[in-house]
Amino acid sequence: MASERVAGEAPAGLAPDRVLAALGSSERGLPAAEVAARLERYGRNRIDEPPGRPAILDLLAQFASPMAVLMWVAGVIAVSAGLLQLGLAVFAVVLVNGAFGYWQEYRAERATQELRKMLSQRAVVLRDGAEVEVATEDLVPGDLLRLSEGERIGADARLVASSDLRVDQSTLTGESRPVHKSPAAIAHVRRAPLQSNMVFAGTSVVAGDGWAAVTATGMATELGRIAHLTQSVEEGASPLQRELGRLTRELSILSLSMGALYFVVAVLFVGQSGVAAFVFALAMIVAFIPEGLLPTVTLSLAIAVQRMARRNALVKKLSSVETLGCTTVICSDKTGTLTQNEMTVTRVWLPGCGYAVEGRGYAPVGSVVLDGVPRDAATDRPLGRLFEAA
């Protein structure tokens, strides 16, 4: 069940003494009966995970890739042509390769699950006038949450009291420097991470302490919204998977074409019977299938996964390693830390010339200068075409 915010008015804009009333709480916290009712209404305070596929489907997927299907067909053709040993060898390669690939990804999934267990935490809240320690999953909107140095915050909450409280919000903003928080109301409610009287799930207390009233839990938190965005991303084929798919199509066409050609030559020019020529053509088709390619690729990726693991990097899918290997440019953004929110162009290079750009920040003041002379996009054709493209 998705959670929701209970305050009709933005909590950040309320005075501290009005926050608890807006959330249906009090300075003594929530009574046990109200906690149970809100837990039923808003659900557990946890990030929903997309439903996983049954393990049997993950296993079968290892045997259903284009190259694996081609090898299954090659094995059937080999058996049909009377090459029983070759056919069984091909089947064995596919089975061993699929089982090995599944085992590698299963181990990575188990490691990920263990990491999730390590993230489980507890929180101290005020209920019925007494401080109690509860599982973070049991937090509900309206709970009075105690914030202490070194603790990870389990829900979005509005500060009602604090003492030199500073919070690390890098999980939400990428900003590495701690942010000072205070319970004072803010006149102009800005976007969530910039609200100085709000703390958010997934962030942590760097210094100070305080009390905050929970305003949102589960998927209604800012962290939950980010999780929803990441979960809605569709998974596409990796560059290697696309290449193997293309290679499989080309090999299929090539092997079938050569088999047909050998069949025609054997019947018309060698004088073999149709049955013998057909068996010979089937054997040639199988011979064109590179049985060692699939296990070679899988083994190479598995070795890469192990090397990443030794560097404390967890890879869930074998194909992810190859995708990382194809990366040529990494774009990183540390807004506020390095750029102070003012990304400014200072130089522009075009074929045969380089322009200097004057001005700073967002003020529309400055010129584009070439060799000390201001240039106008209306008369400078290269510069005009650049602006048109941009």
100 touches 5 (CB < 8 A) = no
Q: Which residue of the set 333, 371, 376, 380 is catalytic?
A: 333
For residue 20, give every residue at least 6 positions away whose Cβ sits within 8 Å of its Cβ, in sequence order, or none: 26, 27, 142, 144, 160, 213
Q: What three-state secondary structure class fits 40?
A: helix
Provide the sign of the torsion angle of the four alpha carbons 318, 68, 255, 287, taken in this order.
Answer: positive
* Radius of gyration of the chain, Cα coordinates, nearest whole angstrom: 32
C-alpha–C-alpha distance, residues 346 and 354, integer Å: 11
DSSP per-residue letters across 46-98: S---PPPPPHHHHHHHTT-SHHHHHHHHHHHHHHHTT-HHHHHHHHHHHHHHH
Q: For the purposes of burial, counting CB atoms within 10 Å of the CB of 10, is it exposed (0-12), middle (13-18) or buried (19 or more)? A: middle
CA distance 328 to 350: 23
Q: Contact, 220 vs 249, CB < 8 A?
A: no
CA 90 – CA 73 distance, rounded (Å): 10
Is 333 an annotated catalytic residue? yes
By the 8 A CB rule, do 37 and 142 touch?
no
The rounded distance, in Å, linking the Cα atoms of 198 and 222 is 11
What is the C-alpha to C-alpha distance for residues 237 and 296, in angstroms, rounded to an integer? 19
Q: What angle do CA 302, 308, 314 make, to 5 degrees?
A: 95
Which tokens go with 319? Answer: 């194909």
For the annotated catalytic residues, the residue numbers are 333
